[in-house]
Every structure is written in structure tokens, then in C-alpha cells.
Structure 1
Amino acid sequence: MKEDLSLEYLQAIQQYGNFSHAAKALFVSQPYLSKYIKILETKLGVNLVNRQITPLTLTYAGELYVSYMKDIQKSYAKMQVELEAISNLKKGRLIVGMNPILASYTLFRFLPQFMKKYPGIEIELEEGTASEMESLILQNKVDICLNMLPISNPELVYEELFEENIYLVIPSEHPLYDKNNVTPTHVPFNPKSLKNEKFILLKPGLGLRRLTDGIFEHYEIKQPNIILETNNIENAFRLCINGNALTFIPESVVTRDQVKFNANLYTLGNPIFKNYVVINYKKDALLSPAAKAFLQFTKEKFIQF
């Protein structure tokens, strides 16, 4: 079935109340969106958008069109699930959302094995921030996603895969560095004293940044001195250990490559702050056989953690 964007476009207009904001959210130009809707209205012979009021609303015909298109999408999705079931996973397609950190440090642990076990399933990866992935799941543009807690949207459900420590990294050039703490240990000072320290953190919206923001909040560090933000956790880590600013990293960053470095790694909190890696999907979603197989495979793979 050729992808039909009319439902997504009309819902965006309904949500944002004008063509300009809807086009921006859809990553298309405003003239293109207006032309697309006008062509659709001409084809159907009815007005779908009420342009006489601000903000814009859908006409009764527009609301009816959206309702029917939702039913069509559900029927098509159900057909795909049933056809995949008939093929017994010999064929299928799966769109997997990934947190960038997990893509770098955990994806290699299971995806090659899954693809080897199910060679007929076509895999498409979507990488982005935690908030971007949540949005794509809700828009049915991603089937299933590997992410980090917290996930606050009630329309999403998750199953935990594993947990790992979160480390505060103090480089050897920093005054708080302790040459006697060569292995990871619990922080030996009150973390509230970090309120004036410099930090290199991931950019807002990324899963680990959500977690570190929670740590700052817990220790009442209301305005941390963030001197640099990056999308790449390894970049943050290497900038930290080669300078005098602090950062936070998940345990897997250290254990994957057994990196040699001079820095203290401290856990924080009581109970200790953890990074919880989860696989999540839309609540009440009709998961395809490929998605169910992926869910079961990853859970079995990470049971060791």
C-alpha cells in the first residue's frame, strides 16, 4: 500500500491550528502542505479544513475523513500482522528506534544475532533523542524502541532489559581527583558540593541527560555550570578525562572497550542511581510477529544483566 500522508497532515493542522506551524512540525514547507490539502479536497469534492476561523479546525467532512483513515490504517496493520504470522517470520519488516548511546554500546550485542536468526526480516533503524523516539512511537513510525528511563508518557509501556551504574567522572587534573581510588567506588563526599563545578553533558532530550538532570535535582543543584553540551557520550567522556570538567557516563561506556584512563568513577545516591535500559512500545499496540520476536529475543539476550 502506497504511504498516504493525508491523515498525518490533517491531524497536524488540527493540532496546531494553522498551516505554518503544522508544516514546521511535519518538516515540509507551508506552500506544499496547503497545496497537498487543496488537491485532496478537490479530489474528494469537499472542504476538509475550515479556513474561516482562527485557529483552523477540521470541517465535519474532515473529521469524518480522519476517522475513516484511522480505521483503514488499523485494518492494514492487522492484515500485515496476519500475513507475517502466515509466513512464520520468513518475511517481515521492523522499524527499531534507538537511543544513540545504546546504538553505540549495546546494539552489537544482539542485533547481528537477531538478523542471522531471522534473515527474512528487514530491519530499519531510527536513532534520535528519547523524546524524538517517544514521538515516533506514538505516530506509529517506529514499531519498538530501545531507550532509557525515565519514560513519562502514559501512552507508552516498557519492559526492562537491564540496569547499570551511572558514574560521576572526575578527571586526574581536577582538585577532587583521588589517586587512591583507581576502581569505581561510591562518592566519598557530599555531591551537593558539586554545585559550582564545571560539567560537560549530553544535550537536552537525550536519555542520559534526563537522568543527570534528575541527579542534579536530587542534590538541589538548580543551575549546574554546564560549559559544553554534545550529542555523543564518548565525546563527553574523552573531553572530560583530558580536561578538568566533570561528566556522567553509564557503566557500559567503560566496560565495552576496557578503556584505560586516569579518572575517578563514583556512584551516587542511596539507593544508587542506575541507568535502566528498556524496550518500549505503544500502549495497546498490535505488535507484529517480527516485533514480538525482537522483544523476546532482546529480553533473552540481556537476561544475563
Structure 2
Amino acid sequence: MKQDVLYQILTTAEECQTVSDIAKKLFLSQPYVSQVLSKAEKKYNVVLLERRTLPIELTEAGKTLCEGLAKLHSDQMKIEQDLRRYTEEEQSYIKIGFSPIWSPGESGRIIPVLQKQFETTRFELIKTFSTNSAKRLIDNRMIDIYIGPLLRGEDLKNYLLFQPKVYLIIPETSKLYQPGKKEIEFSQQLLTDLSEEKMVSLSEDSGFQKTVDHFLEDQNLSVNKAIKVNDYDVAVQMAVGGLGWTATLEYMLSNLKTDNKFNLVELPNTTIQSDNGLTIHTETSERAKEVAHVMNDLMKESVEKNRSFNA
């Protein structure tokens, strides 16, 4: 039984309703997740997950094991990093976590440059599906660098790159839809009226969705989250398909077909902000810090080029 898999299952359980939900989030089969849990419960002779409740929840034993596995992995990573000074550090993997909205084109452009500059260093890319999971991975030293919404913590260092534009997507089925227009202006009244309609929301472990929720709460608005999904692209496609309005980031707009009928509303950058960039642990290896510095320069250059092109 791999301890990393068990740890991921236990931490993901805190955000799920059922064992099937855990499997979906981790892209594992439900029988495999159940098998890993059962083997661990037999090994330690405890019940780790209370399955009779809805939502499921970790037992005290499950929480204790989860904390122990986190500390075990963190200690193991520290030992490995301490030993790197006596080995060929360049031959180790640099693990880069990235959010679902990181453009695939960016990895295809940046990784070759990193390979050329750090010739003997290998790279592993790990897709994360929420800021919560990304924070756990970097806190427990399971990844060296994270690309996406900035993570906060006293042991973390951030490289701010940019603040992407935030858009509301209003489908043709909305009473607020304006035919013949691609973009319509933001207004407080539009936001108030929109909050009374069905919304396609990202799942609650999404850092971006939390930012949107806080923004709406500050406006004293409650919303009807008719659908929740843990995928940016699926949320956008559901919205333009007429299942409800949604909030999304500028990256996702390129995936929309021009024949879809919907309106876009750009939120003023003074109303909502989503800081994006790189995050590293302050105690990560010197090589990972070097890689992060180079990545930061490359991505800043890309951001400035895109701005000049769109100006």
C-alpha cells in the first residue's frame, strides 16, 4: 500500500460527500479507493472513515493517521533534501504543481528552456485541482514549485506575476441576456439581478470560487448554486449551454465557440482580484529556488508580450 495514495485519500475525504467523490477527484476507481482504505483499516485495526454518514467524515483515528502521514512525508522530504548536498543534486526531480487553468502552451514553451539551462535536472509536472490540495502538497514538500493562484503561509514565498481578468458568462437562457452583443457593461444592478438566477459554480475547494463567493458576500448577495463542478472548462461549457451563469477567468474564453450565444461581463479589477504566480516553500532546495527564479522571469516575459500584443 502506497502511503502517498492513502494520504491523498484521507485528505480528499474532508472535501467529499461519498467515497465515489474521493475517487472522482483523485481520478482513481471507487473499488481501488475502498480497497486502500480497507487494507489500512486492517493494518492499523481502526476505522478511518465513517461511511454511514452523509457527507462521509474521518474518524478521530483517521485524522490522527492523516496528521502522522503528513509529518512522516515532511520529515522524509527534509532528510532527502539534507542529503542532496552529498549527492548529485542536479539529478533529482524538480516537482512542479500547476492549477487546471495553467495554459498547456506555457508548459510546452517553458519546460524546454528549463531543460536546456538545467541540463541534468529532471522535471515532474503534477496537476492539482484545488488551492487546498496545492497548499497541502507544498506544505508537506510533495511539490517544489506551484503555479497558479498564490498560496499564503509564513513558510511560503510568492512571485506575483499578474492578476487575470474575471468575467461573468450570461447564457441565452438568462433574462439578462442581450441578443447581438458579445460584451455588456458591468453594473451593480446587473449583478443583483444575476444573483437571483441559477449559477454554475466551481466546487468549494476552488480558491477562485472562494474569491468569487467572498465578493458576492461583500455585496450582501446570495446565489443559487444549481450545479457545482470541479473543472473550469466544464463549468464554462455548462454555462454557455444554458444551465446557469458562471464566473470564470480570461484564460477560459479561448475555449468558447463563436457560435455560442452568451454575453460576457468583465468585472472591474477594483471589485475582485485573483493574484496568480509562483509559490515555493522557503526551505525548498537551492536548485528548486533557482528553477523558480528562472520560471518567474520567463513567465513575466510572456505576460508582458501578451499585453503588448493585445494593446
Q: TM-score, normalization: structure 2?
A: 0.67
2:81 to 77, 84, 89: 77
Secondary structure, in 3 states, of the residue corresponding to 1:161?
A: strand
CA displacement at 1:169 relative to structure 2: 0.7
Q: Which residue of 2 aligns with 1:287?
A: 285
Query: 1:14-53, aligned counterparts within 5 Å?
Result: 29-33=40-44
Q: Percent identity?
A: 18
The answer to whether 1:241 aligns with 2:252 is no
The answer to whether 1:276 aligns with 2:275 is yes
Conserved in 1, the CA contact under 8 Å of 2:239 and 2:245? yes
Structure 2 residues not aligned, in runs of 5+: 11-33, 47-59, 65-70, 304-311
Larger Rg: 1
Conserved in 1, the CA contact under 8 Å of 2:101 and 2:251? no
Q: TM-score, normalization: structure 1?
A: 0.68
Q: Which residue of 2 aligns with 1:61?
A: none
User: Kindly tell me: are residues 226 and 159 of structure 1, through their superposed partners in 2, closer, same or farther at Cα, counting changes over 3 Å?
Assistant: same
Secondary structure, in 3 states, of the residue corresponding to 1:281?
A: strand
Q: Which is worse superposed, 257-266 or 233-242?
A: 257-266
Q: Deviations over 1:237-280 (max 9, x none)?
A: 1111121510111111124x574243222122461423321211
CA displacement at 1:187 relative to structure 2: 4.3
Query: 1:221-240, aligned counterparts within 5 Å?
Result: 221-222=221-222, 224-240=223-239
Aligned residues: 252
User: Kindly tell me: are residues 81 and 97 of structure 1, through their superposed partners in 2, closer, same or farther at Cα, counting changes over 3 Å?
Assistant: farther
- How far apart, in 2, do the equivalents of 1:153 and 1:275 lie? 17
Q: Which is worse superposed, 292-301 or 227-236?
A: 292-301
- How far apart, in 1, do the equivalents of 2:163 and 2:241 lie? 28
Conserved in 2, the CA contact under 8 Å of 1:169 and 1:248? yes
User: Kindly tell me: are residues 104 and 198 of structure 1, through their superposed partners in 2, closer, same or farther at Cα, counting changes over 3 Å?
Assistant: farther
Q: Which residue of 2 aligns with 1:123?
A: 123
Conserved in 2, the CA contact under 8 Å of 1:93 and 1:123? yes
User: Kindly tell me: are residues 152 and 201 of structure 1, through their superposed partners in 2, closer, same or farther at Cα, counting changes over 3 Å?
Assistant: same
Conserved in 1, the CA contact under 8 Å of 2:168 and 2:248? yes
- How far apart, in 1, do the equivalents of 2:108 and 2:179 lie? 34
The answer to whether 1:139 aligns with 2:140 is yes
Query: 1:77-116, aligned counterparts within 5 Å?
Result: 77-81=81-85, 83-84=87-88, 89=90, 91-102=91-102, 104=104, 106-116=106-116
Conserved in 2, the CA contact under 8 Å of 1:171 and 1:242? yes
1:299 to 290, 296, 299: 296
Secondary structure, in 3 states, of the residue corresponding to 2:280?
A: strand
User: Kindly tell me: are residues 186 and 107 of structure 1, through their superposed partners in 2, closer, same or farther at Cα, counting changes over 3 Å?
Assistant: farther
User: Kindly tell me: are residues 184 and 207 of structure 1, through their superposed partners in 2, closer, same or farther at Cα, counting changes over 3 Å?
Assistant: farther
Conserved in 1, the CA contact under 8 Å of 2:96 and 2:123? yes
User: Kindly tell me: are residues 184 and 191 of structure 1, through their superposed partners in 2, closer, same or farther at Cα, counting changes over 3 Å?
Assistant: closer
Conserved in 1, the CA contact under 8 Å of 2:96 and 2:146? yes
Query: 1:184-195, aligned counterparts within 5 Å?
Result: 185-187=185-187, 189-195=189-195
- How far apart, in 1, do the equivalents of 2:45 and 2:214 lie? 42
CA displacement at 1:186 relative to structure 2: 3.7
The alignment's C-alpha RMSD in Å is: 3.8
- How far apart, in 2, do the equivalents of 1:109 and 1:258 lie? 23
Q: Deviations over 1:145-185 (max 9, x none)?
A: 11214x34444332112221010111233221223542475
CA displacement at 1:33 relative to structure 2: 3.9
